[in-house]
Structure 1
Amino acid sequence: MTRIRHEARYLEIGGALGYVEEVYADEAPAVLCLHTAGQSGVQWRRTSEELAALGYRVIVPDLPGHGRSEPAPSGPVEDLSQYADWCQLLMSALKLERPYVVGCSIGGKIALDLAVRAGDEPAGAVVLAAEAGPGRVNVAGLRRELQDLAAPSRSDRTYLGTLAVVGSAAPPATAELIATMHRREDPAVSSADLIGWGTHDVRDALGSARCPVQLVAGEDDLWLDPEQVRRTAQALPHGRHVLLPGVGHYPMEEIDGFARLLHGWLRQLSGDRVAGSVSPTAR
């Protein structure tokens, strides 16, 4: 039986302390798991141990200003490439050799950012609920909202907005839990993250990606255009995409046994990396 180990620690990264959890088996390939806007590594709580049992070293950080990590020295981050820089510093601090990067929503955009500009550093990327162009959000409205973050309805809007983008296949209790946990968000950090979601654009750089990339979209995700996900996959040298029926914006929280699904994609990325190409039928 594989022995699973758990570690949690603070590392000084970019001038502030960042919180990182690791769940791993010995001599296992590393998988860096990135959370969504305003949230923390807690979103991977039902995936990390099962994924480690399948033979991975799972690293789950809280991005700056999220969860247990200290805020970025410059304040809430509106440019997702700054989070990608932070992730590269984290990978260096942990001495990770060619990790896989998996992210959802802004985490997916960060994973894609790393894939297109970090050369051979990532072994591959799984991009959940994200595409290469700016996300669909009212950036001007978010900037106005930053001027009045104490509005009593803010937590209700977060709760209801989250509930609206959970897929129809998720049991009602699961959808309720996902939405309730989003009430924990820091409004300033969440709004800055969403500004990043609405402005991040790596479409012109997709051709420079050197690692294989698996894009994943849920059919019920109101924040995403599946056609843009498909175009992103086609523009990548080694890109694939899949559309999941009944799934919304949070696959790792909505899908029971998500670790095994992720394991399959990681194995496919490993095969793509060895082969150096992707079959056209996979697109």
Structure 2
Amino acid sequence: MTGYLTVGGALAFVEDHRVPGAPDAPAVLCLHTAGQSGAQWRHVAPELAAAGYRVVVPDLPGHGRSEPAPSGPVDDLGAYAAWLLALVDTMGLERFSVAGCSIGGKIALDLAVRASARLDAVVAMAADAWTGGRPSVKGLRRELADVAAPSRSDRTELGTYAVLGRAVDPARAALIATMHRREDPVVSNSDLIGWASHDLREQLGAITCPLHLVVGADDLWLDAERVRWTASRVAGARCTVLDGVGHYPMEEMPGFAAVLDGWLRELTADREAA
């Protein structure tokens, strides 16, 4: 049931989509990008539920309708991963899949390292094991002093346009950029500090669950070769580069629920065949 749960000492808002009469539907956790919320999955979640999944879409602490973490804005993506494991435990989910984008994709990779035995499949979009420290963590920390200036929302809108793929319909691009203006700049910058400092290179060998890394060919935030390198370090991992797509596949691509359904089914088949 969609609503609030207490996780880590604060209220978390969680969407829980499933078709009535399907109590055993496989669960998939859908994770949003830096500074955003589960609203990024608003078109995908109902269609994915109709395809036979229980779709769990949380707002991370301090995002959307979730309360801030008691310790303040989170700048460690590993802390988000630990929070999500507490969330699924609270919901009674022993096994589940994960699909995440941007910081959500990196968190999905982190979950794969921490809890492979519990994961049926992981789709990590717009993510790699290490960004090479880009953007500068020092610069991002310095920006925390002035990110709440009114012009920040304009910068967010323009920045969203910059990382969308060339295949996105202009009206759809305008809606995505407008929705992204809603972010809390302090939370967003803290997320980006987590993005730039998150390093799983030495831990990829711990991943034993089926993994699919996805990157848009027009994504200015990612180097596709780093994504391919990450996939090459995990046994059996898949890697897909999406032509004409930027940083937000689930928002940019019409009919994305069917695409994700296909990826999850392929990964589940890989697990069953192993």
1:143 is the counterpart of 2:157: no
Q: Which residue of 2 aligns with 1:24?
A: 18
Q: How does 1:195-214 map to 2 (within 5 A)?
A: 195-214=193-212
Q: Which residue of 2 aligns with 1:117?
A: 114
Q: Which residue of 1 aligns with 2:30?
A: 33
1: CA distance, partners of 2:160 / 2:245? 13
- SS of structure 1 residue aligned to 2:177: helix
Q: Is the contact between residue 148 and residue 186 of structure 2 (CA under 8 Å) also seen in structure 1? A: no
Structure 1 unaligned blocks of 5 or more: 1-6, 277-283
Match of 1:126 among 102, 123, 127: 123
Q: Which residue of 1 aligns with 2:68?
A: 71
Q: Which residue of 2 aligns with 1:4?
A: none
After TM superposition, give the deviation of residue 230 of structure 1 in Å: 0.4
2: CA distance, partners of 1:216 / 1:254? 14
Match of 1:183 among 171, 181, 184: 181
Match of 1:105 among 102, 112, 115: 102
1: CA distance, partners of 2:218 / 2:134? 15
- SS of structure 2 residue aligned to 1:246: coil
Q: How does 1:212-227 map to 2 (within 5 A)?
A: 212-227=210-225
Q: Is the contact between residue 18 and residue 68 of structure 1 (CA under 8 Å) also seen in structure 2? A: yes
Match of 2:2 among 1, 8, 15: 8
Q: Which residue of 2 aligns with 1:194?
A: 192
Q: Is the contact between residue 212 and residue 238 of structure 1 (CA under 8 Å) also seen in structure 2? A: yes
Q: Which residue type is aligned with residue 117 of structure 2?
A: D
CA offsets 1:99-151 (integer angstroms, 9 cap, x no match):
00110000000000000121301111000111111363122221111112332
- SS of structure 1 residue aligned to 2:2: strand
After TM superposition, give the deviation of residue 153 of structure 1 in Å: 1.9
Q: Is the contact between residue 136 and residue 224 of structure 1 (CA under 8 Å) also seen in structure 2? A: no
- SS of structure 1 residue aligned to 2:271: helix
Give the TM-score taking structure 2 as reference length: 0.96
CA offsets 1:29-63 (integer angstroms, 9 cap, x no match):
00000000000000000000100111100000000
Q: Which residue type is aligned with residue 3 of structure 2?
A: R
1: CA distance, partners of 2:94 / 2:79? 21
1: CA distance, partners of 2:265 / 2:118? 18
1: CA distance, partners of 2:101 / 2:37? 11
Give the TM-score taking structure 1 as reference length: 0.93
2: CA distance, partners of 1:98 / 1:238? 20
After TM superposition, give the deviation of residue 275 of structure 1 in Å: 1.7
Q: Which residue of 2 aligns with 1:96?
A: 93
Match of 2:58 among 25, 37, 61: 61
Pairwise CA RMSD: 1.0
Q: Which residue of 1 aligns with 2:158?
A: 160
Structure 2 unaligned blocks of 5 or more: none
2: CA distance, partners of 1:192 / 1:156? 19
Q: Is the contact between residue 18 and residue 70 of structure 1 (CA under 8 Å) also seen in structure 2? A: yes
2: CA distance, partners of 1:182 / 1:144? 23
1: CA distance, partners of 2:2 / 2:234? 35
2: CA distance, partners of 1:113 / 1:238? 17
2: CA distance, partners of 1:13 / 1:168? 39
Q: Which residue type is aligned with residue 2 of structure 2?
A: A
Q: Which moved more, 1:218-227 or 1:171-180?
A: 171-180
Q: Is the contact between residue 49 and residue 55 of structure 2 (CA under 8 Å) also seen in structure 1? A: yes
